[in-house]
Amino acid sequence: MNELENIKGSGANNRLTKQDLLQHITSRGSQPAPAAPAAQPSAPAKDKPAYSSPAVSVSGNVEIIEMDRMRKLIADHMVMSKQTSPHVTSYVEADVTNMVKWRDKVKKTFEKRENEKITFTPLFIEAVVKAIKDFPMVNISVDGTKLIVKKYINIGMAAALPTGNLIVPVIKNADHLNLIGLTKSVNDLANRARTNKLKPDEIQDGTFTITNVGSFGNVMGTPIINQPQVAILAVGAIRKKPAVIETPEGDSIGIRHMMFLSLSYDHRVVDGSLGGSFLRRIADYMEQFDIDRTI
């Protein structure tokens, strides 16, 4: 029997969600893959890695690698998302110079005081949370012809696993956390994602997802919606660029830290006006970051 048939879906009409798939993987643990031909004897159990290697076969100058279980389930979920939601992607370019300068100024003090490194991710999440409060209709899911508006804001953040797969740990009630709380949550979830120590409930119930394509050196991306959510934000690499600076005294050219933001959204329920305005508001909050802010 197909493994997917054994998983109970929690989405609309019993549809499988990504959280269902990842919870299934987490709860049953990794199953060792078949050994490759002429493989060396396996190491003792205590020395085995947290992730099993995919089966490999070689014929001539072609190598065939079997997808691991998580990749198969994620692939199925991605296809389902594209079939379910007509995707539209909008883009803006944001000037995040104040944000960059502020982080550079406080990061040593922050780490010394809080015993945590502050990355840009909690700053991005903070801006997204503010924008969601302004545009709550992107914080929804769809059930047939009904819109389920979530009164809580749970932000998923895509994190890379050692296998190359992605998992999306969720910061619950992100709107109730200050910047220090967001930083601690981001660092904790990211660290435990990399060591395969996330709990099943920590990858469930997200209402909006952020993926950082800039961490791979990419300037922008067209992410696939994490069902049953209706929008996902990709943040690109921050690059220094010459830009026009508008002042009351006139325009000038300066070197600024610029970043592309791209928002994919479900065009069944999020039209261009809502999607574009929401994305612009995220960029506005980033650009208006207070460089004199205290920790």
Span of 3-12, 33-42, 137-146, 167-176 with lowest mean pLDDT? 33-42
pLDDT tens digits, residue range 153-175?
999 999 888 777 889 999 999 99
Structural domain span for residue 109: 87-287
> Quick check: helix, strand or coil at residue 59?
strand
Positive/negative CA dihedral, 92, 98, 99, 104: positive
Residue 174: count of CB within 10 angstroms of its CB: 26
Is 63 a member of any domain?
Answer: no
Tell me the Cα Rg of the chain.
21
Residue 158 included in any domain = yes
Q: Is 253 helix (H, G, I), strand (E, B) or coil?
A: strand
Q: Residue 189: which pLDDT band, with cuts at 50, 70 and 90?
A: very high
| Predicted pLDDT of residue 39 | 43
What are the catalytic residues?
Answer: 267, 271
Percent of the chain at pLDDT exceeding 90: 70
Alpha helices (H) in the chain, listed in sequence order: 18-28, 69-84, 97-114, 121-134, 179-194, 272-287
CATH code for the domain of 221: 3.30.559.10
Task: Please tell me the least confidently modeled range out of 6-10, 108-112, 181-185, 216-220.
Answer: 6-10
Domain for residue 42, yes or no?
no
Res 246: pLDDT: 87
Parallel/antiparallel/unpaired status of strands 208-212 and 155-157:
parallel
What pairing do the DSSP bridges indicate for beta strands 231-235 and 208-212? parallel
Mean pLDDT value across residues 11-31: 61
Contact 229, 168 (CB under 8 A): no
Whether 283 is covered by a domain: the verdict is yes
* Alpha helices (runs of H) in 115-239, residue ranges in sequence order: 121-134, 179-194
d(CA 20, CA 5): 12
Residue 40 has what pLDDT? 45
Does the residue 295 lie in any domain? Answer: no
User: Domain tally for the chain?
Assistant: 1
pLDDT at 87: 98
- Asked whether residue 259 is domain-assigned, the answer is yes
Domain membership of residue 243 (yes or no) is: yes
> What is the pTM (predicted TM-score) of this model?
0.80
DSSP letter, residue 138: G
Reading the block at residue 232, the tokens are 């996902």
- pLDDT of residue 277 exceeding 50, the answer is yes
Residue among 197, 194, 191 nearest 161 (CA): 194
Whether 62 maps to a domain, the answer reads: no
**Per residue in 90-140, pLDDT tens?**
999 999 999 999 999 999 999 999 999 999 999 999 999 999 999 999 999
Is residue 128 within 8 A of residue 120, CB to CB? The reply is no
Pairing of strands 239-247, 56-59: unpaired
21: CB partners within 8 A, 6+ apart: 7, 73, 74, 76, 77
Question: How far is residue 4's CA from residue 12's CA, in Å, rounded to a whole number?
Answer: 16
CA 16 to chain centre: 19
